[in-house]
Amino acid sequence: MAASRKKEPGQLSVMDQFDRMKEKHPDALLLFRTGNTYETYRQDAKKSSEILGIPVTSRTLDNGSNIKVASFPHEALDTYLPRLVRAGMRVAICEHLEDPRQKKKEQEAKHGETTSQQPINKESDMPRKKREKTPQEEPVKTTKSAVDETTPKEKKSESQSATQGETAERKPREPQMVTVNGDKVTHGHAYQSKTNPEDWYFTAKINGEQLKPQKMDPADLAAYKEKELTVPQLMERYYPTKLMPRVPDVAYQVANVLPGPEGNLTIDKFNVYKETDETRADYGKYKFYAQVGDKKMSTTASREDLNAYFDRVATPGQLVERNFGDRLHLQSHYEQFRLPEGIDPKGIRVAKDKEDGKWKVSADLGEGRGRTSRQELSFDDGYSLFKTKTATREQIAAKYLTEEISTKLAAPLSMEKSASMKM
Amino acid sequence: MAKLEYDELVQLLQDGTIGFLRFMLESDNAESYLEWCGLHGIEPSEESAEFYYDETEIDMMERQLIDDEDYGISN
């Protein structure tokens, strides 16, 4: 048996090689080809047995110690390998690499089986879409030329894919783009999900760090396949905040100050958390928390703002302004709202509804188009309008009615109405 | 304490034996996470670790797909 096979002087046994490989790739399940079977050892044998339902046996080594071994016929690789991968295992197959001296001896002895092993990368059952176009990678055990030029971060990232990186020589790549921050984008590509084959994802590396894949819009995928969309364009679409200029480090190191309605407001605390109260409608969603003076506030965060925070392309002050500006009655918050063109500010009405006693806003859309619906004001917006006077009627109308106004202005006047007007 | 393997960490996290903070600090991404906290002016915490995990973590099977340069489309 392979694991107990006598080794030549200076030659590593299978178990020596297993231990050496395991030390380098602790997260990989190592499959060793021995003759007509694939074998897994020790902890890998136990995992393989659980996943594949194959038996685990004990084997006594030359030194008298026992190891666990699980094996299956090499013909079963196509069946078992996908199952291991589907179970979340990172699999590396270690094939024979003939030791010239041993090979010579074996040839002389006319043995068909080789004994010395060196892992080569045949990591998984991935479809090899372009395999036939690319030359087979040499089983060279070096990553020096690529790794030596990387930063510590890049080295760490490479180590996460070590079973591949170890055996496939990687050449330094020309970046597909360089961001305004000087970050290098490489490895931008689209790939198909294994679990949901109808889904495709776009991903890339920045400075060697793998970005979390983003599900692609089918139209983008089609355009990318036709080379109508480039990697920089897809980066812009799927990782916009990675490309934006980062704010100065100091913005996150010192308390930000915002001009409030009655003087400056200091942001004492700002962070992000996930709502854990199952009784709340926003359970499981990410929220921003801010402490400004004696006000402690939280609100559900948009994906855009979460990304802006993660990538530090917006200051805490800007994020507070966007997300809590109404509660703090910030003039700067309301300045972002502008009425669509064609709306006369004189046609804006903010009035208390006689039926329910609530303050509501509506706007006149112009001749022949009538008025918008009446939208109820929040307490904070009403306070900003009437009390602190940091919001104008136009801004309030724009905040509540822009979508409706735009839709109605874009729609053609009905023929019926036009005809009746002519009569 | 011996460093845990990645799949062991994932298992412990899924079991609820460890939280996100412990996961991040034990993982290969610990250095990146701590650097990210420093740059954001926050102390490492369960909340920030969970957010960092969600923003960056890629499951092993997907990582294998990504690492295979012959799999997918590269223009």
Domain that holds residue A106: 2-133
Name which of A165, A177, A161 is nearest A210 in CA terms. Answer: A161
DSSP string, A174-240: PPSEE-TT-PEEEEEEEEE-SSSTT-EEEEEEETTEEPPPEEPPHHHHHHHHTT-S-HHHHHHHH-H
Kindly state whether residue A262 falls inside one of the protein's structural domains: yes
Q: Are residues A214 and A266 in the same domain?
A: no
Asked if residue A31 lies in contact with residue A91, where contact means CB atoms within 8 angstroms, the answer is: yes
Q: Is residue A423 part of a domain?
A: no
Query: In this structure, is residue A49 part of a structural domain?
Result: yes
Q: Is A362 found in the same domain as A302? A: no
DSSP A57: E
Number of Cβ pairs closer than 8 Å across A and B? Answer: 122
Q: Which of A199, A222, A243 is the last residue of a domain?
A: A243
Would you call A93 helix, strand, or coil by DSSP? strand
Please, which pLDDT band fits residue A414 given cuts at 50, 70 and 90?
low
Query: Which residues in B lie closer than 8 A to residue A126 (C-beta atoms)?
Result: 64-65, 68, 70-71
Least confident among A264-273, A330-339, A385-394, B61-70: B61-70
Decide if A118 is inside a domain.
yes
Q: How many domains does chain A have?
A: 4
A169 Cβ neighbours under 8 A, 6+ residues apart = A137, A138, A140, A142, A143, A145, A146
Token pair 């339902």 is at which residue? A53
pLDDT per residue as tens digits for the range A61-113 = 878 888 889 988 877 777 777 778 777 777 777 755 444 444 444 444 544 33
Give residue-wise pLDDT tens across range A340-351. Answer: 988 999 999 999
Helices B30-39 and A152-160, axial angle in degrees (round to 10) = 140
Rounded CA-CA distance A60/A65 in Å is: 6
**A324/A392 same-domain check:** no
Does A83 touch chain B if contact means CB atoms closer than 8 Å?
no
Question: Is residue A75 domain-shared with residue A27, that is, in the same domain?
Answer: yes
Q: Which amino acid is at A355?
A: E
CA–CA separation, B68 and B60 (whole Å): 12
Pair (A92, A196) in one structural domain: no
Residue A233 has pLDDT above 90, yes or no: yes
Task: Determine how β-strand A263-274 pairs with β-strand A286-292.
Answer: antiparallel
A362, A375 Cβ separation under 8 angstroms? yes
> What's the mean pLDDT in A123-143?
33
Using a CB–CB cutoff of 8 Å, tell me whether A89 touches chain B.
yes
Instruction: Identify the residue whose tokens are 């010239």.
Output: A100
A13 with A123, same domain: the answer is: yes
What is the complex's ipTM, to 2 decimals? 0.92
Smallest CA–CA distance, residue B25 to chain A, in Å, is: 14
A247 neighbors A315 (Cβ within 8 angstroms) = yes
Q: Which of A376, A262, A401, A258 is nearest to A320 (CA)?
A: A258
Residue matched to tokens 């080569």:
A120
Taking an 8 Å Cβ-Cβ cutoff, which residues of chain B contact chain A? Answer: 5-7, 10, 28-29, 31-32, 39-42, 47-48, 50-51, 54-75
Q: Does A313 reside within a domain?
A: yes
Instruction: Provide the shortest C-alpha distance from residue A147 to chain B (in Å).
Output: 16
Identify which of A101, A139, A123, A131 has the alpha carbon closest to the alpha carbon of residue A27: A123
User: At CA A249, angle to CA A301 and CA B50, rounded to 5?
Assistant: 40
Same domain? A10 vs A94? yes
Instruction: Nearest by CB to A252, from B5, B41, B61: name it.
Output: B41
- A42 and A127, same domain (yes or no): yes
Answer with the one of A227, A243, A259 that is the final residue of a domain.
Answer: A243
* pLDDT of the residue at A81: 77
Asked, for residue A163, whether it belongs to a domain, the answer is no
Clarify whether residues A38 and A114 are in a common domain: yes
- B21 vs B38: CA distance, rounded Å: 15
Residue B28 to residue A212, Cβ atoms within 8 A: no
The structure's pTM equals 0.62
Question: Residue A239 above 60 pLDDT?
Answer: yes
* Residue at which a domain ends, from A268, A299, A334: A334
Asked, for residue A150, whether it belongs to a domain, the answer is: no
What would the mean pLDDT of A149-161 be, rounded to a whole number?
40
Which residue do the tokens 């499981």 mark? A284
d(CA A392, CA A168): 64
A97 close to B (CB below 8 A) = no
Closest CA to A164 of A200, A139, A130: A139
CA distances from A217 to A198, A212, A220, B62, B75 (A): 11, 16, 5, 19, 17
What DSSP designation does A120 have?
A: -
Residues A127 and A20 in one domain: yes
Mean pLDDT, residues A237-260 taken together:
94
Q: Is residue A62 part of a domain?
A: yes
In DSSP notation, A327-382 reads: TTT-HHHHTT--PPTT--GGGEEEEE-TTT--EEEEEB--TTT-B---EEPPHHHH
User: Do A116 and A40 share a structural domain?
Assistant: yes
C-alpha distances (whole Å) from A291 to each of A135, A316, B50 are: 59, 11, 21
Q: Are A30 and A12 within one domain?
A: yes
